[in-house]
Structure 1
């Protein structure tokens, strides 16, 4: 377990600028961070790393000074009108910052077109040594693990991967048996959190929970031990755990990051112990 990479995801501490996030992650005990180059929504707070060269320099300086590395880059969306070539500037910045994993959302109802563009993105990313990961989320057009696996398989690219997020795995009713059939090389990192209560009937409520009310590992109902045992050994774990209630209570980003890491290590210890 000592060799496991833990990365602090941007959504966990979205209020922090990238340089401050790197500093908080390093102080909290993380070796890596995930950087959000493109906002997930128009409403969220965003720090424009792609457009702001000064912010990039500050971030790179903090990475260098703390010894922290970048694990993943987010978030690119494949939509009906997407031109994959337009992502080049984002990949340029991501590679400059040292990221190797790329989070991709599928927002195109035409699965054939989505697959074709995902393959094109993989080809573009390959020039940078970057691995696109298709993340299934129940409110997107790639709703569950099986569908993400199908798109990645049909894209048929060596750097094409699937991203498993514990929240989405639970809320999409994806199965550990399916995960066990996925080749380990298609899983280069995973996102860890916990989730409480039954799956809501309302998709808007699922989305609200995903962005605001996740739980620290071990504080919810998800079978995280089973999930961790089904993932490849020593796969890097990105802790993506937005907890708006704690933020509103004034608990700092660094404190929340530290709490997340402590809980994640405790759950991982259970998963890696003998039965």
Structure 2
């Protein structure tokens, strides 16, 4: 695991624009951010950025001033009629921010078509030095870790990876053992939060929990230290913790402190077992 630069996903404080997120996240202790530059669904909150624009240049300067990285930009749903080429401006802007990856979801029941579109996204992203991370979620067609692994096996692209979200892993029936069985090249990033052991009933409740009901790491029952132990060397770790009970600054501070505590616990256990 890589505990040197803990990141934070934009969903943790989606009410903040990118500049606000960078500044407040840096103040909280984070060293990297994710940015929602494209909507999860049409009309949803996002903050589009155009390469070379004044806002884009200002954000690059702000990242440099705070010694912050952009881990990922999101979000691309791999729907049946996706226009892959239409995402090139998003990739250009992401590359200008020195982002590492773009997050996508699998929303097509036709495996061959989904795999072909995923491969095309990977090929387009490769020209910008970007990785494509496929995030599985129980309510989507790519709903499990196994589903995501089959897609990566099919496309065989060097810049394809799986994004493992601790909550989505648990709610889809996955385990840290399965994560540890992935080829190391398939896993570059993990997002952590916490939740009760009991899963909400039904997809609507699962979605609501994922978007609004996550707990700070270490405040629930998810096997976070086991998950962290299962990661290959170099995997980056980010917090994704929307928690409406607190304002954005307080939420980010709690997310960092809780994440750092869990990561340090896992590192301490690693040292004890060495």
Q: TM-score if structure 1 supplies the norm length?
A: 0.93
The CA deviation at 1:70 is 0.9
- Is the 8 Å Cα contact of residues 217 and 262 (structure 2) preserved in structure 1? yes
What is residue 49 of structure 2 aligned with on the other side?
A: 49
The CA deviation at 1:123 is 1.0
Q: Summarize the Cα distance change of 1:181–1:80 in structure 2 as closer, same or farther, 3 Å threshold.
A: same
The CA deviation at 1:47 is 2.4
What is residue 267 of structure 1 aligned with on the other side?
A: 262
Aligned equivalents of 2:125 and 2:51: distance in 1? Answer: 20
What is residue 174 of structure 2 aligned with on the other side?
A: 174
- Is the 8 Å Cα contact of residues 2 and 234 (structure 2) preserved in structure 1? no
The CA deviation at 1:194 is 0.8
Count of residues in Structure 1 that have an aligned counterpart in Structure 2: 270
Q: Summarize the Cα distance change of 1:52–1:38 in structure 2 as closer, same or farther, 3 Å threshold.
A: farther
Aligned equivalents of 1:128 and 1:57: distance in 2? Answer: 18
Aligned equivalents of 1:146 and 1:155: distance in 2? Answer: 15
Secondary structure at the counterpart of residue 154 of structure 1 = helix
Aligned equivalents of 2:243 and 2:5: distance in 1? Answer: 22
Answer yes or no: is 1:4 the counterpart of 2:4: yes
| 4+ residue segments displaced more than 4 Å | none
**RMSD over aligned Cα atoms:** 1.8
Aligned equivalents of 1:137 and 1:254: distance in 2? Answer: 28
Secondary structure at the counterpart of residue 38 of structure 1 = coil
Deviations 1:98-136 (A, max 9, x none): 101111111111111111111111111111111101100
Aligned equivalents of 2:41 and 2:52: distance in 1? Answer: 19
Answer yes or no: is 1:211 the counterpart of 2:206: no
Aligned equivalents of 2:3 and 2:169: distance in 1? Answer: 25
Structure 2: stretches of 5+ with no match in the other structure: none
Aligned equivalents of 1:40 and 1:50: distance in 2? Answer: 18
